[in-house]
Structure 1
Amino acid sequence: MSTTDTDVLVIGAGPTGLLLAGDLATAGIDVTLVERRPHGLGNMTRAFGVHARTLEQLDARGLADELLATGTTLATARLFGRLDLDMTRLPTRFNHLLVTPQYEVERLLERRAVAAGVTFRYGTELRGLRQDADGATAELTDADGTPLTLRARHLVGADGVRSSVRTALGLPFPGRSVIRSIVLADVRLAEEPADSFSVSGSGDTFAFLAPFGDGWYRVMGWTRTRQVADSEPVDLDEVREIARLALGTDYGMHDARWISRFHSDERQAPAYRVGRAFLAGDAAHVHSPAGGQGMNTGLQDAANLSWRLTAVLRGEAPDPEALLDGYQSERHPVGAMVLRSSGTIVRLAMAHTPLTRAARSLAARFLNAVPPASARAMSMISGLGVSYAPAPGTGRPSGRRAPDVHLREGRLYELLRQGEFVLIAPEGAAPTLPATAPVTPKHLVRATWPDPSKKAAVLVRPDGYVHWARH
């Protein structure tokens, strides 16, 4: 047995774990990231869409523009053959959906984490976990089967739907399977679709198609007439048949580079924090792929948790327990909201009775006819509409997403690339921060409004939400 100490032990090197580990290491925190897969083993998962709020988070880490170059951006989406969602109205410079494979997101986040000094342990699995007042001890098995004990001040499980951390903590994962036998494939097409992104179906079958921008398309399909186990083989002929039933054509699909079958659950852990251990991403919540919110929600979890752990480990949090509990109080309701919204979309896609089809048609007509309602729906799916309850004494706008305003020192999200709180104030002003602010002047980035008439002082958290405001 050997023992290694680290400030934070992250289990799981998917997008959520990589972003979290990179944030912490960038802030000077000692981080070890454990992943059961060998290094270099491809992670061909079903995530393919990066929403606007996630792109803003990646922009705050200097990665958004590079990621945009790996895929294609979609300004509109058509659902159920009649509902048109216009993302150009989103109040952000990323007013679109980016279609790019999850492995491109992981590639950039892994590179950032390596550069920041994260210690990686690939081919290593969690076997047991115990906690005490000072930290967490993980019992691991490394790549050659050697047992290893790793001691950390805090531990984060970002290890997916079958989370070993969640199991070790004894947390239930209540919920159920909402849809079975979904087929996925990355294919080339002989015929280009008229709609760049579409979801359509009859209720007994549905499919969607989206371009990656490099000649490859992601297709997902389901039919009520073929409900089989995930282990059942799937070939391109089955994918083509479902596409023809749902979309009216298979667009000449050929040369599939990847085909898979899976089922979709709706589940959420009751607690995201147990002592010094936390859950994030699919380890904490899993839901229908409808709306493409899974990976995005996990990345937002990581962005919310990383600055809290940083403030506590630096000794800058006036009330460390309350700050860490804030992760649960802010992110658990968001996970529940995503379960509801993605579940609604997939149930509308599966509508097959006259009553449910009529409800779907009515909802589509309403959203098409009432732009504010459509904008609200897009705001929540994109993540831009997510806000948190303000803490007492922090001011009315606190908890809201901070827009990417232009300041004398540059764009706000460029300043956030330093990974610190940003204080925006009028020129020459030196506002006194509230006693509850988990930051010291040493780690504070100061910025100035370009408009001399603006008198407000605003403290923006590292995850791009307003912490405190004074007018």
Structure 2
Amino acid sequence: MTCGTRSTGTQSISWRRRERHRRRGRPHRAHAGRRPGRRRRPVRVLERRAAESNLTRAFAIHARTLELLDMRGLADRLVAEGLKVAEVRPHVKGIKGREVVFNVRHPDSAFPYLIILGQARTEAALEERARGLGAEIVRGAEVTGLTQDDAGVTLTLADGRTERADHVVGCDGAHSAVRRLLSVGFSGHAYATRILLADVRLDADLPLAVNPFMGDDGVVLLPPFGDGWYRATIWDRTGQGVPLDEPVGIEEVRDALLRITGRDLGLARMRWATRFLSERRQARDYRVGRVFLAGDAAHVHSPLGAMGMSTGIQDAANLSWKLVAADRGWAPPWLLDTYRSERHPVGRQVLRLTDTLRRVSEAPAAVRAVRPCLFPKIVNQPRISERLRLTFSGMGITYPVPSQVTATPLAGTRVPDLALTLGDRASRLYEHLGDGRFVLVDTTQSLPAGDEPWPGRLRVLRSSRPLLLGRATTILVRPDGYLAWTATFPDPGQVGKALAEWLRRPGT
């Protein structure tokens, strides 16, 4: 995300292009590009698809992902284009007279909802920002070979060209060529159940919510796009013998909706549909030398929960600023390794959660018999619903404190978009993140206001407004909006030590 990186749909990212070999040929999907100046480094995206996508396969952007996009100036556009949804309303066969509502409102965020928006429109916004930052996007290019040495990575394309880069990020999906070329294991399994995805227009008056229906014959998930169209994710117990390559017809979808929901939802039109086997897999390593994996190349899981795209974008937000630091020469030696130590556990948690949802949804007959009684009690438990809310949204993610730095209260936790008062001007924290620099916020009015001796690495903000983060008066915020360090009325020596741990000593 920072410096134009992205994860949605990208086959591979060649970070900081060094040189381009041989003649220009057809475009794949890796990254490198060109923009003069110290802050923006050459990045090129090699995109295997020859044409822009119009897919709506991924449709949900969760709150923490919106916050990360807000730091990059993208959230307002996506919120304006999408539909705000703040509730999940499960419809479970056998539940009568008791409404089950799972609240996804986030009181501590400027985005107290999730956004329903087709994947193609999210990709278009990310691509526009990438191009605006100088990234070059090359379409129709396919990576077929990869070698690396101490100085960089060489990619070979299907047309015989080669690309040389300092770093490469493979974001090329579940069947990642980059992951295969690295010989990285992708442990897990494919589910035996076939799933239908379809965009359908319904005449039924459904609540403005994500509407899961659980019946004897399977499960249907119906999030709205807001214009009468819905994404239908269907697991049909009676249709599991249909071959994967069998086209999905509107009558098959209409029949499945009727049997599973127990209602005629008035299916009028269908504009897109596919049939696939869901998988539960995770890459053993997220980094091999100068090559990284992100998005579906690193983890795939059940579509229940709609967490795939958001998790991939969060991967990119975590990795991008670390690559910027490495590129500019001030990353501590251990920094790039924290991508795996921070994001691999998050991916594992997403796999476990979506697998649990699948098991509940596809329950055997004995479990289905007691589901109407147990389901409302579980979902309506405040502690359980709160934990689910924080997990689904990404708001509850906490990163471990690296052993190489001083551990302080709240370090590794998400920082909300703090209100700041800078002189006589009102501001907010997220306005100052997103360019790869750390932000030091000080409310003691006793520390220097400049970024010396860490120019290009640090922005210092002197705010007269309390932080309301425990007892902290001074905080160091990572470029991805997580706390690196906190203190209460620190002296300059303490601040300098914390900065040196994260930003290295001046002059490095």
Output the TM-score relative to the length of structure 2. 0.83
Q: CA deviation at 1:335?
A: 0.3
Aligned with residue 328 of structure 1, among 340, 343, 352: 340
The match for 1:465 is 482
Report the Cα distance in structure 2 between the residues aligned to 1:364 and 1:16, rounded to whole angstroms.
42
Q: Which amino acid in 2 is paired with 1:157?
A: G
Can you give the 5+ residue segments of structure 2 that lack an aligned partner in the other structure? 16-30, 93-98, 489-508
2:385 is the counterpart of 1:374? yes
Tell me the distance in 1 between the aligned counterparts of 2:87 and 2:339: 33
2:147 matched to which residue of 1? 130
Kindly tell me: are residues 24 and 418 of structure 1, through their superposed partners in 2, closer, same or farther at Cα, counting changes over 3 Å?
farther
Residues in 2 aligned to 1:416 and 1:66: alpha-carbon distance in whole angstroms: 18
Alignment pair present for 1:76 and 2:76? no
> Does residue 100 of structure 1 match 2:108?
no
SS in 2 for 1:442: coil
Q: Which amino acid aligns with 2:464?
A: P
Relative to structure 1, the CA distance from residue 444 to residue 115 in structure 2 (aligned partners, 3 Å threshold; closer, same or farther) is same
Matched residues in 2 for 1:431 and 1:366: separation?
52
Q: Which moved more, 1:274-283 or 1:345-354?
A: 345-354
**Contact 2:5 2:316 (8 Å CA) reproduced:** no
Give CA deviations for 1:432-457 in whole Å, capped at 9, x if unaligned. Answer: 99xxx9x9333322223332698621
Is the 1:60–1:416 contact (alpha carbons within 8 Å) kept by the matching residues of 2? yes
* Cα distance, 1:365 vs structure 2: 0.7
Deviates more, 1:442-451 or 1:122-131: 442-451
Alpha-carbon displacement from aligned partner over 1:392-435 (angstroms, at most 9, x marks no partner): 404121110011110124111122144422111025332799xx
Q: Could you tell me which residue of structure 1 aligns to residue 285 of structure 2?
A: 271
For the residue of structure 2 that corresponds to 1:407, the secondary structure is strand
After TM superposition, list the pairs within 5 Å mapping 1:24-423 onto structure 2: 27-40=39-52, 42-81=53-92, 83-141=100-158, 146-194=159-207, 196-227=209-240, 228-319=242-333, 322-355=334-367, 358=370, 361-368=373-380, 370-391=381-402, 392-409=405-422, 410-423=427-440
Task: Output the amino acid matched with 1:296.
Answer: S
On the 8 A contact 1:461/1:467 being kept in 2, the answer is yes
Using the alignment, how far apart are the partners of 1:16 and 1:129 within structure 2?
A: 13
For residues 76-123 of structure 1, the C-alpha deviation after alignment (integer angstroms, 9 at most, x for no partner) is 112353642112244211111111111111010000001111012110
The CA distance in 1 between the partners of 2:437 and 2:347, in whole Å, is 25
Match of 2:9 in 1: 14
The answer to whether the 8 A contact 2:321-2:479 is kept is yes
Deviation at 1:363, TM superposition (A): 4.8
Q: 1:453 to 1:382 in 2, by over 3 A?
A: closer
Question: How far is 1:265 from its partner?
Answer: 0.2
Deviation string, structure 1 residues 322-360 (Cα, Å, up to 9, x no partner) = 111100000000000000001111111111332465368
Structure-1 separation of matches of 2:248 and 2:345: 36
Equivalences, count: 452
Larger radius of gyration: 2
Give unpaired runs (5+ residues) of structure 1.
1-7
C-alpha RMSD over aligned residues: 2.8
SS at match of 1:211: coil
Cα distance, 1:250–1:101 mapped onto 2, change above 3 Å: farther
SS across alignment from 1:230: coil
Instruction: Identify the range of structure 1 (357-366 vs 392-401) with the bigger mean alpha-carbon deviation.
Output: 357-366
TM-score (norm 1): 0.89
SS at match of 2:439: strand
State the secondary structure of the residue aligned to 1:328: helix
Structure 1 residues 274 and 359, CA gap change in structure 2 (3 angstroms): farther
Are residues 127 and 15 of structure 1, via their aligned partners in 2, closer, same or farther at CA, if it must alter by over 3 Å? closer
Residues 107-147 of structure 1, C-alpha deviations (whole Å, 9 max, x = no match):
10000001111012110001111111111111112xxxx31
Q: Distance in 2 between matches of 1:230 and 1:453?
A: 54
Deviation of 1:163 (Å): 0.3
| Cα 1:203/1:335, change in 2 over 3 Å | farther
Contact 1:32/1:118 (<8 A) preserved:
yes
